[in-house]
Amino acid sequence: MAIELDLKQFIKDQARALGFCGAGFAGARLGSEYTRRLQVAIRPPYVRWEPEARTNAASLLPGARSVLALAFPYRERMGLQLPAPGQGYFSPFAQAPDYHSLVGEKIEALISKISQQLPDLRSAYQVDNGPCSERVWALAAGVGWQGKNNFIIVPDAGSFVWLGLLALDIPLEPDQPLASACGDCTRCLEACPTNAYPEANRFLWPRCMAYWTTDKGELSEGQCRMLSRHQIVYGCDYCQLACPHNLVHGEPGTVELAPLFDISAAEFRRQFGDTAFWRGRRVLRRNARIAAGQPPGTFLIG
């Protein structure tokens, strides 16, 4: 037991040294309560999963015995300020380097550190690109608790985090899940301009402005008016920026709109080629024009 505890602490210490703000262990197969969370979740049509596979680490690593759930911050501090005239809100989530590569490289470095202690270790990892659900494993492993807006809130770090999983072929004692620290607070629900959260943990994605900004189809006039009113280019984050656990703010997530109206392919690659913005140049140009209040009919994608 002492050796196991030392190994767990060693792994967590190495994760912290690499910049992870949360790390916790869970078993290789989660209980039915986590499967039910996925079964009842209301999700966009492009998100598909089998709940049983999403809660079984064998989907990621055959023979897995335990899972390390990890959280990595977008940046040390997030901005609360709303866009000034001529600016648009662009979520820091999509301005940062592509998290699949960034967090993946950090996990690979962690595997290297662990393998120095366990040369025969077998492992596999995912960062929003594998068969398992990062969110439910982060809950089970005590990395954070689920806010009423469904985001994972990490103690002392908030919810502006990327999540990753590392499956291991060694058994390690699971950590305990965290109790919610949200209490009676409903700021995240009240902050949503479109009432996408009619009640705690009930998310109606068709109402979400962040989802609208990823849609490659034609947006309705009502959607355009709302995006223009809030000067949103990509993402939204109102429900996160309102959260008291995220109230350590720095540089805001804003961009100048005019340079995006007719951004060239070369400039798009230069500015966004290595970031997590994945919807393409035409969507970006359309969204920038909507945020600037250009009249309907001038921002169809073509």
pTM (2 d.p.)? 0.90
CA atoms within 13 A on the CB side of 13: 6
3: pLDDT strictly greater than 80: no
Average model confidence (pLDDT) across the chain: 88
The owner of tokens 């999540």 is 163
pLDDT at 124: 99
What is residue 4's three-state secondary structure? helix
Q: What is the pLDDT of residues 121-130, one digit of tens each?
A: 999 999 999 9
Q: Catalytic residue positions?
A: 128
Domain residue ranges of the chain, discontinuous segments joined by +: 2-75+91-168, 187-291
What is residue 206's three-state secondary structure? helix
Q: What is the pLDDT of residues 235-257, one digit of tens each?
A: 999 999 899 998 765 556 788 99
Q: What is the pLDDT of residues 26-57, one digit of tens each?
A: 999 998 888 777 766 656 665 666 777 889 99
